[in-house]
Chains A and B, each alone.
Chain A
């Protein structure tokens, strides 16, 4: 082996006509086809460049964070800057959405497309964790695509619900509870069983049976105040329609009995403290245009 790293002792390989580097591994020798010297310079230049990079940008990881770099650049501020640029770029269209009424947005194809596009993103960021990516809902979290609304499905009603929430603690929030009839000792177990059976009859899921009359009595005395004499519900109070095919928690007798016994009362946050009015507007239009809007 040579002591000079840039050269070596070798011999002429007779087959190829090329000299070897002098490196040999178990009889296998390395041919020396010299690399152009500028290639070496490019390599040195890359090393110099990387040192410049360490100085300019965050690079070496320390115990708590990486070295900051003299330019003060970091990915968080870069994202913030780009978001600001995006806001500036969108200023004109955002202003259009801000100035138009909800109905005007729905009636203007260009604004509707814009609102739906922005609404889809805002929905994914804020609403999807509970309501599902496309507003498909889950047990206890309403499906926003269907035509059954607890608190009303008009544009204004949806706007109201998103802004102030449900049982959120906000002064303007929707309130109204399904009491815990069983737990609080208002109804006995047989009464609950009877009323649950009656509700299933109301919904057309079961045929009338021996306890139906008893259930109807209990229903009219305890439930009709909110759900109405015919069980059609009341959107002022968020009392669901019990006669349609849509069930927030499920329609089995056991589930209904559980609800009557323990009450129901899910919470939706008030979004006016977190989102600006235009975002709530596009969310309203988006939800309304999912298909169930009235």
Chain B
């Protein structure tokens, strides 16, 4: 693995694994082949949490499109639906129009801030527990373990010459992987059309070409990234580890090897003898379990590093070993840099969750949440937008009166047909005309917009180069709900 260190304060353990000293005649490759990693199965508290996260995340992803939500006869009944042809996004009780994309922007900003907060508090929890790359890789590894056995069996199988057993196992593994990958792509497209209908169309080969192409692409990426690329995605392709390194500080919890407790390493027997003789002996017995269970193949004892996704599986592995040899748990654990130093210096336990950056993130999250909630509560079911004619800005009529023309777009965001009346305010003596319709009763279909051309004419004498503020107001004839937009009336 690369020896790039993300944390210059880390205290790497100097051991025999350090890069060998190279002589002037040695050829050093500029490219390296991937070294196959055979993660070993592990049991423990963190593994259980990871399974739970995996099950919940995948269940949501695969099943959400099938959740129904009744919106009446004229609207889709899918709870979460991105309807591109109709340009609508449905999310349970919400229906978002394209011009309300700021909700999505707000959600993305919120997601980023929550991620920052998580990282400031507990390091790369996103990478270790929730990232799709981690979740799907975990799933693929589980399949691999089921079909080919645990670490040793897999290593033996890969080293063995081809046999019927090997062909069967490899074929089975890749088939299951492809099936999962295909299902992943299949679930994805269900978010863009009515799920039950699309499933029917997909199996009868009547679905749109775009659906099959999307499934094919996602099958390919899922199979490649989760089956073959794995930790290479995190180490070489993902920008997030580089960013995350800047988001942590000495108070952030990180998966850490307590080298002060572990060193010097010695076997159980030697350590016991040393302790009996009153000499220092570390708890680490150098069994290598932490390295064997690591999905990215790093040695956590070398300190915090770029390739470590902080999944915490080494904590479970080491705790199992510590239990067996009768030493205290948490030799590898979630620990902050500051606490580590305090403990070594014999100072009291340091835990500072409330600090400038976490407070800042929480405040920002609260502000964004507040803005979004305000926008959501104040969301109106009718809208009007106006564009003033650019050429000509005004029209002088033969009787000396002045007219301005506007293009208005009225929106009816409710799921039934409504009639609106249009009125203006601000221009003295103004007369309002809607081309081809009646300003008193403008009918708009359910969940639709309508563009109208509006002429405002006044006979009153205007000051030279007048630019009068003007307000258009639409009012639901039945309910009185209204919306307005401001523009200008321009004179000669």
9 pairs of A and B residues whose beta carbons are closest in the complex: A136-B392, A244-B398, A134-B391, A34-B32, A7-B27, A136-B391, A112-B436, A145-B395, A37-B31
* Contact B18–A145 (Cβ < 8 Å): no
* Contact B405–A19 (Cβ < 8 Å): no
* Contact A132–B392 (Cβ < 8 Å): yes
B431 at the interface (CB under 8 A from A): no
Question: Size of chain A's interface in residues, with CB distance under 8 A?
Answer: 50
**A146 vs B394: C-alpha distance in the bound complex, in angstroms?**
9
A265 at the interface (CB under 8 A from B): no
For window 418-450 of B, CB contacts with A under 8 Å fall at 435-437, 443, 450
* Least CB separation from A131: chain B residue: B391
Chain A residues whose C-beta falls within 8 Å of the C-beta of B437 in the assembled complex: 109, 112
Chain A residues whose C-beta falls within 8 Å of the C-beta of B163 in the assembled complex: none
* Contact B396–A37 (Cβ < 8 Å): no
Chain A, 121-134, contact with B by CB distance < 8 Å: what is the 0/1 string?
Answer: 00000000000111
**A33 vs B305: C-alpha distance in the bound complex, in angstroms?**
14
Chain A residues whose C-beta falls within 8 Å of the C-beta of B397 in the assembled complex: 146-148, 245-246
Chain A, 105-120, contact with B by CB distance < 8 Å: what is the 0/1 string?
Answer: 0110100110011000
* Least CB separation from A14: chain B residue: B21
A143 at the interface (CB under 8 A from B): yes
**A108 vs B316: C-alpha distance in the bound complex, in angstroms?**
73
* Least CB separation from B434: chain A residue: A109
* Contact B436–A289 (Cβ < 8 Å): yes
A241 at the interface (CB under 8 A from B): yes
Chain A, 8-48, contact with B by CB distance < 8 Å: what is the 0/1 string?
Answer: 11111000111101100000000011111111100000000
Chain A residues whose C-beta falls within 8 Å of the C-beta of B232 in the assembled complex: 36, 38
Contact of A19 among B12, B19, B455 (CB under 8 A): B19
- Known A-B contacts: A34-B2, A292-B395. Give 8 more (CB < 8 A): A10-B28, A19-B19, A36-B236, A39-B236, A113-B451, A116-B451, A135-B391, A289-B436
* Contact B34–A36 (Cβ < 8 Å): yes
* Least CB separation from A145: chain B residue: B395
A4 at the interface (CB under 8 A from B): yes
A291 at the interface (CB under 8 A from B): yes
* Contact B30–A289 (Cβ < 8 Å): no
User: A16-B3, A38-B34, A133-B391 given as contacts; is B398 within 8 A of A246 (CB)?
Assistant: yes
* Least CB separation from B12: chain A residue: A17
Chain A residues whose C-beta falls within 8 Å of the C-beta of B279 in the assembled complex: none
**A116 vs B407: C-alpha distance in the bound complex, in angstroms?**
11
**A147 vs B32: C-alpha distance in the bound complex, in angstroms?**
79
Chain A, 251-266, contact with B by CB distance < 8 Å: what is the 0/1 string?
Answer: 0000000000000000
Chain B residues whose C-beta falls within 8 Å of the C-beta of A17 in the assembled complex: 3, 12, 18-19
B74 at the interface (CB under 8 A from A): no
**A112 vs B451: C-alpha distance in the bound complex, in angstroms?**
10
* Least CB separation from B228: chain A residue: A38
Contact of B3 among A7, A18, A146 (CB under 8 A): A18
* Contact A37–B450 (Cβ < 8 Å): no
Tell me the minimal C-beta distance from B438 to chain A in angstroms.
10
**A9 vs B443: C-alpha distance in the bound complex, in angstroms?**
79
**A291 vs B2: C-alpha distance in the bound complex, in angstroms?**
72
For window 243-294 of A, CB contacts with B under 8 Å fall at 244-246, 289-292
* Contact B436–A134 (Cβ < 8 Å): no
B165 at the interface (CB under 8 A from A): no
Contact of B31 among A22, A35, A148, A245 (CB under 8 A): A35
Contact of B32 among A37, A133, A135 (CB under 8 A): A37
For window 22-37 of B, CB contacts with A under 8 Å fall at 22, 24-34
Q: Offer 25 A-B interface pairs, CB within 8 angstroms, sorted by A.
A: A2-B27, A12-B19, A16-B5, A17-B12, A18-B3, A21-B28, A21-B30, A35-B30, A35-B236, A36-B232, A38-B34, A107-B436, A109-B437, A112-B437, A132-B391, A134-B389, A135-B392, A143-B392, A146-B396, A245-B400, A246-B397, A289-B436, A289-B453, A290-B453, A291-B435
* Contact A146–B27 (Cβ < 8 Å): no
* Contact B435–A289 (Cβ < 8 Å): yes
* Contact A291–B403 (Cβ < 8 Å): yes
* Least CB separation from B302: chain A residue: A17
* Least CB separation from B398: chain A residue: A244
**A106 vs B22: C-alpha distance in the bound complex, in angstroms?**
86
A75 at the interface (CB under 8 A from B): no
